[in-house]
A and B are shown apart, each in its own frame.
Chain A
Amino acid sequence: MAIITSKPLRERRRFIKSRALKRFLAHKAAVIGLVMLFLLIFGAVFAPLVSPYGPREQNLFNTLAAPSAEHLLGTDDLGRDLLTRILYGGRISLSVGLLATTVAVIVGTLIGALAGLIGGRLDAALMRFIDLVLVFPDLILLILFASLFGTSYITIVLVLGGVSWMTVARLVRSSFLELKPKEFVEASRALGSSRLSLALKHILPNALGPVIVAATLNTASAIIAESTLSFLGLGIQPPTPSWGNMLQNAQALISSAPWTAIFPGLMIFLTVLSINFVGDALRDALDPRHTIK
């Protein structure tokens, strides 16, 4: 193994990395998106420092106030500061999106690796199962599971991850099928590597690029799915703010206080747009079949 990690290969790796970075940075929108995401995460993490108000701090004498110097984005029907709730809501929406994707990647990698490594009947059965799951529109499953298993933070994360692991599973499986017959894997097997070390050392690293791209795009759709569920009353429950549940009352208030409908949704939109830009650029950067335009 010492021979393989000799200097030329390390240099080659560095070359690949710098090329990927260059390709990524060529997408201006993605760089802007990355900055946007950084700002959003910063605002959510440091919400107590950024905002003088608390997320549940009501002021019933100042309900549905229009945006002003005091309340930059106005207040909601209980007189809570909208910007503050958006910042705190970002904690929920962003973390649910990231955690759900983590669940999806772990489950997807496990199932994909199992199918690819063992093959045969197990592979066929797992792939049929994926086909079965994909027959349902995802919101159908989300609504069903949320109403069955409840709407706590953890269950929402698990449910969102539980309906979105299929893409990763298929990607991982196909990289197993593609690489298993390759010479370097054969060689390593001939040297006595176990199946597990084959998978971890040689095959999974090769699947990393497409999985990262899929995970990025999955985060975007998980954030939309969480906000949709919460909007429908089957996600994160108030008074804990999430960008979705902040819009629950927005429809009733839309003529009297349009800002309550506009801003939380705008945050979802900007977040998802930023993530999609980043995902698009990552696809360009990490997929060797793509060439620089």
Chain B
Amino acid sequence: MTNFLFRRLLEMIPLLVGITLIVFIVLSSIPGGPLTAYRSNPNVRAEDLARLSQQMGLDQPVVVRYGRWLLRFVQGDWGYSVITQQAVLEMLGQRFLNTLYLMVSALIVTVILAIPLGVYSAVKQYSGFDYIATGLAFMAYSIPGFWLGLLFILFFAVQLRWLPAGGMYTLGTDFSIIDRLRFLILPTLTLALPSIGFYTRYLRAGVLEVKNKDFVRTAWSKGLGENMVLFRHVLRNALIPFITVLAIHVPQVFTGAIVVETIFGWPGMGRLYWQSALNFDYPVLMGIMTISAGLVMLSNLLADLSYGVIDPRIRYD
């Protein structure tokens, strides 16, 4: 197990290097670059620009520049924002945590709601509940996230005034969990609802497939109780593909987070990415793309590890 984990983590390194190299080449074609601020300054002469460009190593081939970037990157120097001159790592730290907080909270809500909805729909196939749940799931899956966010703001913040329309906490107050949760509800639901729709359908299909397998019939004929059959035999087997898809879904959740953070003014990495793209702030873009790629790879690894917990037939070697 430890061996497997170690090997998989090692395998991620060349992949990340490849990805960051490609991204670096793409980003280095961005108009502007780190000298933008100097170029628009009439007091900076052309020879100064050339000297600066030489000092910063911008006259070097892109692969050499990438090598330098990588060397600094592993030492924790992720460069400086072209716009705010802040250190990228410093800018990303708190924002990354904020995004993670949002994504994890949405994932928890998704799992808590989708598993019972999907399982119950499948168990009561073709019942009224099943039709309503699958119908709603289909609709939830088809809603554009940003519009859902706008509707939530309209109903729960503007009309009913139950919840805040944006931000992460009430400014100028002490930390309070209730306050944090109130700010968390709408962004979480906006992010989670399409996933809930998707997974309810997915899990329903999974349970239906397992439900009629021989080993389930055997379990019934042994006289096991309904809960025993459902949880120990059916659900456990239906959950394996569910976890794979959950991991594959992480990039989509991140996509959703960009939208949700923008709408709800959530100070996260997604919103920063959007702003940085508008400003061509490439050191920040580079940092965020690296983190999101790493996040996706880690989630795939996590999925691989969780199979073993759910299905003891799967061994790592």
Contacts and interface: CB of A to CB of B under 8 A. Distances in A.
Contact of B278 (A135, A137, A233, A273): A233
Contacts of B158: 254-255, 258
Contacts of A148: 26, 29-30
B273 interface: yes
Interface residues of A, number: 39
B26 A227 contact: no
B29 to A, nearest CB: 7
Nearest to B148: A265
Interface stretch (B66-74, B136-144, B173-181): B136-144
Interface in B18-46: 18-19, 22, 26, 29-30
Contact of A273 (B139, B150, B251, B259): B139
A276 interface: yes
B262 interface: yes
Contacts of A139: 254-255, 258-259
A232 to B, nearest CB: 6
B145 to A, nearest CB: 7
B147 A247 contact: yes
Contact of B146 (A137, A143, A231, A277): A231
Interface in B226-264: 251-252, 254-255, 258-259, 262-263
Contacts of B143: 269, 272
Contacts, number: 114
B80 interface: no
The secondary-structure label for the interface of chain B is: helix
A227 B138 contact: no
Which of A139, A143, A250, A255 is packed against the most chain B CB atoms within 10 Å? Answer: A139
A227 to B, nearest CB: 6
B153 A251 contact: yes
Q: Chain B contact residues (Cβ within 8 angstroms of A): what range?
A: 35 or more
Given A140-B254, A140-B255, A273-B142, A251 B289 contact: no
B70 to A, nearest CB: 17
B154 interface: yes
A69 interface: no
Interface in B118-158: 138-139, 141-147, 150-151, 153-154, 158
Interface string A208-220: 0000000000001
A124 to B, nearest CB: 14
Given A139-B258, A247-B147, A144 B277 contact: yes
B89 to A, nearest CB: 19
Contacts of B151: 261-262, 265
A268 interface: yes
Interface of A: 29, 132, 134-140, 143-144, 146-148, 220, 224, 227-228, 231-234, 247, 250-251, 254-255, 258, 261-262, 265-266, 268-269, 272-273, 276-277, 280
Interface of B: 15, 18-19, 22, 26, 29-30, 138-139, 141-147, 150-151, 153-154, 158, 251-252, 254-255, 258-259, 262-263, 273-274, 277-278, 280, 285, 288-289, 292-293, 296-297
Nearest 3 CB-CB pairings of A with B = A265-B147, A139-B255, A137-B251
Given A134-B251, A262-B154, A265-B146, 17 more contacts: A135-B296, A136-B296, A140-B254, A140-B292, A144-B277, A144-B289, A232-B274, A234-B278, A247-B146, A255-B158, A258-B154, A261-B147, A265-B144, A265-B147, A269-B143, A269-B147, A277-B138
28 contacts: A134-B251, A135-B296, A135-B297, A136-B251, A137-B255, A138-B252, A139-B254, A139-B258, A140-B254, A140-B288, A140-B289, A140-B292, A143-B277, A147-B278, A148-B26, A148-B29, A220-B142, A228-B144, A234-B277, A247-B150, A250-B150, A254-B154, A265-B144, A269-B139, A269-B142, A269-B144, A272-B144, A273-B142
